Amino acid sequence: MQSVVRLYPPAYDIRVEQIPIPKLEHPDDAIVEVKLAGLCGSDLHPYRGTVEGLTEPSVCGHEFIGEVTALGTHFHPGATGRPNLYATLKVGDKVVSPFTVSCGECHHCRIGFTSRCVESRLFGTPHTPGGQAQYVRVPHAGGTLYNLQGISTASVGPDEETKETIGKLADSSLLLLCDILPTGVFAAFQALNHPKTLPMLTSRPYPQSSGGALLESVAVPLKGEDKVLTIAIVGLGPVGVCACIALLDMLYARDIEFRIVAIDPTEIRRKKVEAIYARISQAYGKQQNGHLEVSDITASKEIVTKWTQGIGCNSVLEIVGNTSALSLAYELVRPFGCITSVGVHAARPVPYTGQQLYDKNVSMDFGRCPVRAMFPMALDLLLRRQDVFGEVGGETSLVEKIVGFDVAAKTYDDFDKGRCGKVLFDPWK
């Protein structure tokens, strides 16, 4: 038997229970002994009873790291007919799991769009018991789990030195790889890699074609002010903070001049981002070529107007996932700007008319982070920014505390009511 945190429908009913340890059910399965499990903002959707059709109790949580304790027959040496993916795990390996299952083999997985795998299943739902447990069964483990020991195919593994560095990372730091850190990196990556952002980064006007253009389209060269990126981050919860760190890291690395307004109605969240910005900009020292300001919602519009003479932001990162965040994003974005939305949205109409989108030439990228594909970029950032990711409970840390299952019900309640930040569970505490 094992201890797990279970949610009983319709809502707010968290129980710690003893249930059997999961067994291998399919040749692609792995069993993982959980070291740490996260409590994430999106765990609150089923907790509050807002997920339709949820009638059975489920083991909670979609963020977990741990160690492989058993593997299906497809992983056994000599197993035939399986791709390299299944030579990547052995018992004892330390692994991180994305918050969704991905087979690693379908069209979407091959392309890197792993969050839309045809076998995609969200951990922490009735059919896929979650990570707030001592043991988890991981379906399609070869495609899903990310092996921190590196994998056997040399071309795709980290080198020995990197492996050693990874080995030294705290579990609380690695846990961020399950969801919030890759999602933040995804948001920042989408914002900076959109073709509409390219002219600002390359000093060449739109459109940039690989060939075929007869003439330069525009005769007046770009000015310095054209190349300053103005970016808004809407929502400074844990994913917003990660997006902020990823964005700063990418901008500093490419020496791009920037102005970021980081927006949240909650002062405590704004303070954290200010502290993180101070730390990161200090670490970069004189190289820095930009400016971050935190703001509440109302002031953010004035700030962007002042910075850009009313033109608006090049990019808006929408991390909240509701209608008012989308409306604010539209207000803040400039003509030919991009809205990158990684927030989880409900079945409510998008608050835009076709004319509004036409009149501002808005580009938008919506949807769930392909965590499995973003892992390398996120791990790279995690390794380089241990000054902010490595701490628990500090002024700049993303994790507030690590608790045992004994306080699970109270922790859900506190988290739901905004009385605490990000909390991790140690199932063995």
Distance separating alpha carbons of residues 215 and 220, to the nearest angstrom? 13
Q: How far is Cα 157 from Cα 112, in angstroms, rounded to an integer?
A: 17
By beta-carbon proximity to its own copies, the closer residue of 175 and 326 is 326
Contacts to its own copies from residues 145-164, by CB under 8 A: 150-151, 153, 155-158, 162
For its own copies, give the closer residue by CB, 112 or 167: 112
Site string for its own copies, 183-202 (x = CB under 8 A): ---x--xx--xxxx--xx--
Residue from 35, 74, 94, 108 binding its own copies (CB under 8 A) = 108
344 binds its own copies (CB under 8 A): yes
What residues form DSSP beta bridges with 3? 18
Helix (H, G, I), strand (E, B) or coil at 138: strand
Q: Map tokens 């429908």 to a residue.
A: 9
DSSP, res 27: T
Q: Does 363 bind its own copies (CB under 8 A)?
A: yes
Say what the alpha-carbon torsion angle 303, 308, 310, 311 is, to the nearest 10 degrees: -130
Residue 306 in contact with its own copies, rule: CB under 8 A: no
The residue written with tokens 């339709």 in the block is 52
Task: State yes or no: residue 284 binds its own copies (CB under 8 A).
Answer: no
Nearer to its own copies, 31 or 379 (CB): 379
The gap between the terminal CA atoms of the chain, to the nearest Å, is 16
Q: Is 5 helix (H, G, I), strand (E, B) or coil?
A: strand
Residue 340 and residue 319: Cα distance in Å, rounded? 8
SS3 for 8? Answer: strand
Which residue lies nearer to its own copies by CB, 20 or 161? 161
> How far apart are alpha carbons 65 and 174 in whole angstroms?
7
For the bound state, the minimum distance from the C-beta of residue 255 to its own copies, rounded and expressed in Å, comes to 13
Interface map 207-246 toward its own copies (x if CB under 8 A): x-x-xxxxxxxxxxxxx-xx--------------------
For its own copies, which residue of 45, 116, 271, 291 counts as binding (CB under 8 A)?
116
By the rule CB under 8 A, 49 interacts with its own copies: no
> What would the two tokens of residue 2 be?
């094992």
Whichever of 157 and 404 has its CB closer to its own copies, that residue is 157
Q: Which stretch binds its own copies (CB under 8 A): 1-9, 36-44, 101-109, 276-284?
A: 101-109
Separation between Cα atoms, residue 43 and residue 46, nearest integer Å? 6
Half-sphere exposure of 34 (CA within 13 A, CB side): 34
Scanning 72-80, 340-348, 394-402, 414-422 for contacts with its own copies by CB under 8 A, the matching segment is 340-348
Residue 335 interacts with its own copies (CB under 8 A): yes or no: yes
DSSP code, position 113: -
Instruction: Check binding of 377 to its own copies (CB under 8 A).
Output: yes
State yes or no: residue 122 binds its own copies (CB under 8 A).
Answer: no
The correct pick among 44, 79, 111, 278 for binding its own copies (CB under 8 A) is 111
The stretch among 18-26, 129-137, 278-286, 353-361 that binds its own copies (CB under 8 A) is: 353-361
Tell me the window of 65-73, 203-211, 232-240, 286-294 that interacts with its own copies (CB under 8 A): 203-211
Report the residue from 374, 388, 408, 423 that binds its own copies according to the rule CB under 8 A. Answer: 374
Tell me the number of residues near its own copies by CB under 8 A.
97
Among 90, 121, 291, 345, binds its own copies (CB under 8 A): 345
Report, in Å, the least distance between residue 298 CB and its own copies. Answer: 23
Does position 125 interact with its own copies (CB under 8 A)? The reply is: no
Backbone angles phi, psi at 79, to 5 degrees: -60, 135
DSSP per position, 44-85: HHHHTT-STT--S-EE--SEEEEEEEEE-GGGSTT--S--GG
HSE at residue 234, side-chain half, CA atoms within 13 A, is 30
The least distance separating its own copies from the CB of residue 119, rounded to whole angstroms, comes to: 13
* CA angle at 122 for the pair 118 and 128, rounded to the nearest 5°: 100
Three-state SS at 358: helix
Nearer to its own copies, 340 or 397 (CB): 340
66 scored as a contact of its own copies (CB under 8 A): no
**DSSP label at 223?**
P
If the CB atoms of residues 55 and 355 are measured against its own copies, the closer one turns out to be 355
Q: Is 44 in the site for its own copies (CB under 8 A)?
A: no
Of 300, 250, 235, 237, which is closest to residue 280 (Cα–Cα)?
A: 250
How far apart, in whole angstroms, are the C-alpha atoms of residue 332 and residue 312?
5
Residue 85 as a binder of its own copies (CB under 8 A): the answer is yes
Q: Which residues pair with 315 in a beta bridge?
A: 231, 338
Residue 391 tokens read as: 């701490």
Least distance from its own copies to the Cβ atom of residue 84, Å: 5
Min dist CB 421 to its own copies, Å, is 24
**Under rule CB under 8 A, residue 138 binds its own copies:** no
